[in-house]
Structure 1
Amino acid sequence: MKIAFVGKGGSGKTTLASLFARHAADAGSRVMALDADINQHFATALGMDPETAERHPRLAEYMSDLKTLLRGSNPRIPNNDLMLKTTPPGPGSTLLTLEDDNPVFEAAFSRIGDIRFAATGGFDTEDLGIACYHSKVGAVEMILNHLIDRTDEFVVVDMVAGAEAFASGMFTRFDHTFLVCEPTLRSVGVYEQYAAYAADYDVNIAVIGNKIDEDDDIEFLKRHVGDDLAAVVGRSRYVKAAERGVVGPISELEPDNRQAIDRLHRCATTATKNWTKFSRQAHEFHARAAKSWGNDRTGSDLTQQIVSDYILGPHLLPEV
């Protein structure tokens, strides 16, 4: 399952994403964690030493290698210059799995316990005034477009804050979108904005109430998000310790809070994947990107890269 964690800046989405990823790994699932936020804190939330996290490779540095890997022998993408972050796979493309062994994964990923982790890289000084952060998260979008995951596996992505995710079609790349929401008007405002944008794209949104102190907080969220409220997480000494650099075993998370995370885990594992919708939306957003700027930039009709009956899914993987 491909899982996104979104929410207002400061709502605790990175913390909740790390708790979900660690809980799923502890339960025996294969887990890949991807940091696609402009503020890169996912690694340390998962338990990586801050100095190691600072030196960690960045996916954005391997964009050219990633394009070469993914286009494979696809005749519709003869060179890297014709591959956008939205380019969907087709016959000859290289397809990925969570345990894939390839040069890009070997260079850009590491292990944090049982979790396979990679980061896009933050917004650097040299980017100021000349670069858009969404160009960096393009590597994540390309990986998601070519990744075949199963229902008992999890790709957990810590996304940019607020509605910034809608600057590209990446918001459609997930089986579940967990929106972390504090019991405040500003936070539920982000939920309302996100839900409105996502309404036309069949995005599966569930709300996690965070920083809950009392029953009134829960009632406030229920009034604003209704049945989308899937779980609530209270104030946590465990989380406070983790934010101070002491990341204990996930089993030490307070029982009520761990039950909340387990509720999200069960919600994700009991759903079914819709590969047809996933592929259709990949084709749709690639066509948009091609027509709005890609064709002009490359001098080619990039919509010809779309193979409409090529549906991603486990049926494309070799039998073992």
Structure 2
Amino acid sequence: MKIAFVGKGGSGKTTLSSLFIRHLAAHDAPVVAVDADINQHLGAALGLAEEEAAALPALGAHLPLIKEYLRGSNPRIASADTMIKTTPPGAGSRLLRVDEDNPVYEACARTVLLDGRPVRLMATGPFTEADLGVACYHSKVGAVELCLNHLVDGPDEYVVVDMTAGSDSFASGLFTRFDVTFLVAEPTRKGVSVYRQYKEYARDFGVTLKVVGNKVQSTDDIEFLQDEVGEDLLVTFGHSDWVRAMEKGRPAAFELLEASNRLGLESLRSAADESYAYRDWRRYTEQMVHFHLRNAESWGNAKTGVDLAAQVDPDFVLRESPLHEGSVSPRPNRLQPSPQPA
């Protein structure tokens, strides 16, 4: 299942996403962790030294390899150069799985051991001096969107994405790629302001949004969050000596995390598992097509010089399958590439 962590800058989004990744690893679940935040702190939160985190390969730097691999033998895609961030898979495309070895992971992922348990970590890469004045950060997270569009995940395996702060993720269709979005909010007016934006923007796209209260110090804080976000409030987290030690670079064994916080992390996992159980693969594919057609018309056709709508395979529905390379779903239903959201 695919899980996003979002929230206002400084809310503790990266810290909580790293704790959740550790929690999953502690239960021996296959995990792909993705740092899609402009600040790129997830590696450090998972225990990497500064130089190790800086040495993570950037997804954007390997975009030609990613495109060529995912294109496979799809006859609707003439070349990797005509693929854009929203290009959907079709018959002949190569699909990614969470728990496999493939050239994309080999080039773009590094294995991080969390108390001896392996997690794959991928990063979009930082905003560099060469990008100043000529690029936006969304051009970097495009590689994440392309990979998620081609990733077939099953139950009990997880893709956890630490998203860029605020509501910036709505600049692309990436926000629809997740089974559940955990919005980390502090118990302040500013803390819940991003929630209101996210709730409004996501309303028409069936996004499952759960609020995770963080830096909660009292029952008054909990009541404030309940008043502001209502039933969307899933769980709250308060002070953690374990987290403070981790932030100092001296984390204890994860099994020593406070019991209340371990229970909170299990609540996140239960919510993710429940959301995945209701995933509509057809709708998931339709939303993929919807944003591809929008991007094609807006800028993609002009950039590539081809009609990118022709890349849509109307018979293809992405879904869980035991097949790997070039796998496609059975075709009981025919998708129509409609510009309207599901």
Q: TM-score, normalised by structure 2?
A: 0.91
Separation in 2, partners of 1:260, 1:50: 29
Q: Does residue 1:184 correspond to 2:183, yes or no?
A: no
Aligned to 1:274: 280
Whole-Å separation in 2 of the counterparts to 1:144 and 1:194 = 20
Cα distance between partner residues in 1 of 2:38 and 2:76? 32
What number of residue pairs does the alignment pair up?
319
Do the aligned partners of 2:152 and 2:321 also contact (CA within 8 Å) in 1? no
- Residue 314 (1) aligns with residue 320 (2): yes
Deviations 1:123-178 (A, max 9, x none): 01111111111111111111100001112111000000000000000000000100
Unaligned runs of 5+ in 1: none
State the AA in 2 paired with 1:131. Answer: A
Give the SS at the match of 2:264. Answer: helix
Give the 5 Å matches for 1:160-199. 160-199=164-203
- Opposite residue 281 of structure 1, the aligned amino acid is Q
Q: Identify unmatched segments of 5+ residues in structure 2.
A: 326-342
Q: Which amino acid aligns with 1:216?
A: D
Query: Which residue pairs with 1:75 in the alignment?
Result: 75
> Does the aligned pair in 1 maintain the 2:301–2:307 contact within 8 Å?
yes
Q: CA RMSD in A?
A: 1.3
Structure 2 match to 1:142: 146
Matched, 1:60 2:60: yes
Q: Please state how far the C-alpha of 1:277 moved relative to its aligned partner.
A: 1.5
1:212 aligns with 2:208: no
Q: Assess if the C-alpha contact under 8 Å between 2:40 and 2:126 holds in 1.
A: yes
The answer to whether the 8 A contact 1:283-1:308 is kept is: no
Residue in 2 aligned with 1:305?
A: 311
Residues 208 and 232, structure 1, Cα contact 8 Å, conserved in 2? yes
* Partner residue, 2:99: 99
1:230-254: CA deviation from partner (whole Å, max 9, x where unpaired): 0000111111111111233221111
Q: Is the 8 A contact 1:35 1:119 kept in 2?
A: yes
Deviation at 1:316?
6.5
User: Which SS does the other structure have where 1:198 is aligned?
Assistant: helix
Match of 2:252 in 1: 248
Supply the distance in 2 between the matched residues of 1:101 and 1:315 (Cα, whole angstroms): 17
Q: For the residues of structure 1 that align with 2:322 and 2:68, how far apart are their CA atoms?
A: 20
Which residue is equivalent to 2:120? 116
Cα 1:253/1:312, change in 2 over 3 Å: same
Q: 2: CA distance between counterparts of 1:247 and 1:93?
A: 42
Q: SS state of the match for residue 106, structure 1?
A: helix
Residues 275-314 of structure 1, C-alpha deviations (whole Å, 9 max, x = no match): 1121110000001000111112222110111112311112
Q: Secondary structure at the match of 1:33?
A: strand
Contact 2:94/2:324 (8 A) holds in 1? no
Which residue number corresponds to residue 235 of structure 2? 231
Between the aligned partners of 1:30 and 1:213, the Cα distance in structure 2 is: 33
Measured against aligned partners, the alpha-carbon deviations of 1:81-105 in whole angstroms (never above 9, x if no partner) come to: 2100000000111100012322221
Matched position secondary structure for 1:10:
coil
Q: Which amino acid aligns with 2:247?
A: E
Distance 1:184 1:162 in 2: 15
Give the distance between the partners of 1:99 and 1:183, measured in 2 at CA.
37
Contact 1:33 1:115 in 2 (8 A): yes
Matched, 1:295 2:301: yes
Report the Cα distance in structure 2 between the residues aligned to 1:187 and 1:164, rounded to whole angstroms. Answer: 16
Contact between 2:95 and 2:324, CA under 8 Å: does it hold in 1? Answer: no
Question: For residues 58-87 of structure 1, what are the alpha-carbon distances to aligned partners after superposition, in whole Å with 9 as ceiling and x for unaligned?
Answer: 111100100000111111111122100000
What is the DSSP-based 3-state SS (H/G/I as helix, E as strand, rest coil) of the residue aligned with 1:314?
Answer: coil
Q: Distance in 1 between matches of 2:207 and 2:242?
A: 32
For 2:159, what is the secondary structure of its paired residue?
A: strand
What secondary structure is seen at the aligned counterpart in 2 of 1:166? helix
Partner Cα separation in structure 2 for residue 28 and residue 106 of structure 1:
21
Look up the SS of the partner of 1:234 in the other structure.
coil
Indicate whether 1:156 and 2:160 are aligned: yes
What are the equivalent positions in structure 2 for 1:18-37 lying under 5 Å apart? Answer: 18-37=18-37
Aligned to 2:214, the other structure's residue is in SS state: strand
Give the corresponding residue for 2:42: 42
SS at match of 1:4: strand
Paired residue secondary structure (1:212)? coil
* 1:196 shift after superposition: 0.3
| Equivalent-residue separation in structure 2 for 1:81 and 1:50 (angstroms) | 34
How far residue 43 of structure 1 moved from its aligned partner, in angstroms, is 0.7
Change (3 A) 1:281 1:216: same
Residue pair 1:30, 1:153 contacting (<8 A) in 2 also: yes
Q: Which amino acid aligns with 1:256?
A: S
Report the Cα offset of residue 54 of structure 1: 1.2
